[in-house]
Structure 1
């Protein structure tokens, strides 16, 4: 059986922050993505540029 490497997280959490697009801001569009491990250490963070204009930053 293969052993797990201690450097590889066993648990990862994903969070996406959304903004509103469209004329009334009701269209949910991802604007930020973040991954953290079980110790709350940052694995990945990136802003996402929506392809349509943002009308509500919430």
Structure 2
């Protein structure tokens, strides 16, 4: 998760137009949020499976 935070806090490159940079930032933010959601979902699924295996 630390790598995702580093990616999200990167500084914009100089020379990019403001509109293009904002659009790129929005796309990157969406990608990071989707990746974070997928990781959380997979972690929850693994926890549930691990708990159900112990009870067997």
TM-score (structure 1 length as normaliser) = 0.23
Richer in helix (by share): 2
Richer in strand (by share): 1
Point out the structure with max Rg over C-alpha: 2
